[in-house]
Structure 1
Amino acid sequence: MTVLLDAPTTKDTQVAGLLRLATAGSVDDGKSTLVGRLLFDTKSVLADQYEAVERTSRNRGLEQADLALLTDGLRSEREQGITIDVAYRYFATPRRRFILADTPGHVQYTRNMVTGASTAELAVILVDARKGLAEQTRRHTAVSALLRVPRVLLAVNKMDLVDFDKDRFGEIEADFAAYATALGIEHHAALPVSALRGDNVVEPSADLAWFEGPTLLEYLENVPVETERRPAGRFPVQYVIRHQSADYRGYAGTIASGHLEVGDPIVVLPSGQRSTIAAIDLLGRSVERATAGQAATVLLADELDVSRGDLIAPAEAAPSAVQDVVATVCHLSEKPLNVGDRVLLKHTTRTVKAIVKEISAKLDISDPLAAAGRAAADEFDWDEAAPAAHSLSANDIGRVVLRTASPILLEPYAADRETGSFLLIDPASGDTLTAGMSGDPLGVFS
């Protein structure tokens, strides 16, 4: 009997809120077709969109609509039959709203996968049932672990091409479970589907009667979402709102993590000024409490000097400021990142000058465990898979040491994805160079 690890299947429980998910998979594993099938079967496709897909499919000599065209929007994507850029799709069911990031499968677009998965609460990784775990499957799983995506689901696609073989699914499920566990992914699961036919995507399939888990949509509707990743609130100030006639001074922004409540004693960082939350405005009304992800305006009991880039946090659980940053980064730009480069570091709403002091290692993310011939992360010799480097090129993942011109309130990424991440920006062009994660989230470089 196959049972998913963390998704209830009861249909009578109301599930609210928003789920952010990212899809990934090797080339030709059917990822775009699966996303298209999910959108079509949930009636999330407009009539004119579907007509355009049907027309294009007929022009190509296909007998039925190619649902992959619903997500492959770029001309070059449609011509090659691959995904190049991250495509965001929004859909909803009566039980939950979804933001889906459809990410590319090619090695040279690893940076796009990092972009799409950076805010995801769930990664759905596809494999072809005939091929099993490919190099890109392991790469995408490793990137998901590196980004601390809370849950990873393996969708074993094209089950119709292996005659819906239960044993074949079991082999792939076991391989994936061992690899995900070795990478430290706590919540992982697998389910069988046929995206082309729609088996077990939205509706159960008679050909998969041996599978006792939910359909893909049931899993997505029921998987738990962590709305508060930590109890301590983090509120980066984005804008100061003033109404002199009403003697109103509020600090607007989005709560990065945790929650804030009226009456909480707080500290404003990096200045260290203390006060108490007098009121919280949310969507034009006063509330007693605001939680992670909500855009709010906070009013304080005292008149303090607070501006964009400051952080409001609980007085007894405030982060410490740092200037020397050791981080794991994924380089996104075609322009290399070199030791000695002067950059801008953007952390939440604060941007400071910084210099790249050291690039101490570069990780072979294609299959980090196999690279050293080990079966488990605690036996892994990272020196073999992360040799020393002096520069990073596009799609490279490595360890860097930075020195900032002024203190920032950067926390370990393993503890908080929001306040533990940052961007490096080219000060001349304003282009984004690198995405960074404070510390060593995967234990790669320790």
Structure 2
Amino acid sequence: MKKTTGRDVKQAVDEFANCALFEQVMPCLHKCFLWLVAIGAITCASMLGNPVAGQDAPVRGDPTLQPWVGKVKGSLVNIRTGPSLNHYAFLRLRDGNSLISLGGQGDWIEVAVPSDRPVWIHNDYLVPEGNYFKVNGSRVRLRATAGTNHAPLGLSESGQILVPTGNVSGDGSWVEVLAPLNAHAWIHGDYIRRTDQEVNPLHLTRLHQSLKGQGGITGVPVAIGSQGSTANPGATVADEGSDPDAPDTDQEASEPNTVTIPVFDSPKLKKLFNSFRDETLKNPVDWNFSEILKEVKEIEVTSEDVGEVEVVRDLSKTIQEHFMPLHRRLVEIQRQQDEARAKRELVRVKENDILRRTGHRSTNPDVKYQAVGWVVPLGKHRDVEATHKLLKGNKLLYYLDGGEIELDQYVNKRVGIVGTVVEQKPSTGARLIHIQKIEILSR
């Protein structure tokens, strides 16, 4: 077999370039190359400004302990899953619609999704509870659509009751429910104005039910204690204060962020709400509503008064949908602050160590001396330009160079020293201080 050489390959290439087939193939290859360039450009352009992809945790801003009611400003305003234009706009509200503000981030306001707006939750974490669904999972995500393409609107609580709309996704994996109070969304601050309406956090779920997505107050008031009332978790009630049969509230002046507790004749409700008030007076990161929820459950099971049952269910709903998520958020913020504080302290220690190594004093005003110990004569030392050393017990701390300071007068005395630290060879066993200031602490 003849051995192929580089000259043979070159000759074959030249012959192909001169043939008619080459003239037909090259335009096709050129077109393919242009198509590939165009597709690449389109792909890169589409990646810029893409909507924010689905994520595991809902976007949460800086929470407020005192929610407020705002009204939408604008003919048709987008409500989004997060605080940016890249987040999905799943809802539009008209001018005058009322929203409950629960926090914010930068120019964006975090609001409760209107109670007549449907949201989605995965079917695997729901169990039937009469005409409703109960969440059978810990912190199951609430979504704007039947899927995981966008940021969650919130996290449900274990045992939380949700009101279904009757709709399910095509594959049956997702169930549509009416938005609870713990489903949050975002509106730009330029398109919402704060109203003067007072908000009692104790009745947030009732207020949430009364403020519908198309604005204004709708529905029939539910009289507390009425024998004809029903324990409907999704019932629509009038705004707080519009019901003449509702219990009187305590008229004493309270601090801005405290919860106003209604006055009840029922000893059970008095005890329950006093416990709730005592808990909310604590630092929010220390809140624990487990015992209160147990009391609620006991009243639900044992009480023959339908009004009592409705009141405690309303309280339970408010705790689960507002106070518990708020508590978790504040705990997370404190954890983040503690981590940031620890990192700053680590950086400060490293900076001070660098300053000390380069011959500068510590910048900490609480540190009066760089070193404290007992002065001992050094004698002759070949590797260190020092006359004395500083000891703590038998441990060598530093070699000492007094310069113009006569160190013999400090021998066998406990002193505090300020000066410039100079690194020495590791074999010497310690660093050298050129003393700028020395004080006797004890003899």
- Class of the TM-score when normalised by the shorter of the 2 chains: under 0.3
TM-score scaled by length of structure 2:
0.23
From the CA coordinates, give the structure whose radius of gyration is larger: 2
Q: Which structure has the highest helix share of the two? A: 2
Higher RCO by CA contacts (8 Å cutoff, separation 6 or greater) = 1
TM-score scaled to structure 1, two decimals?
Answer: 0.23
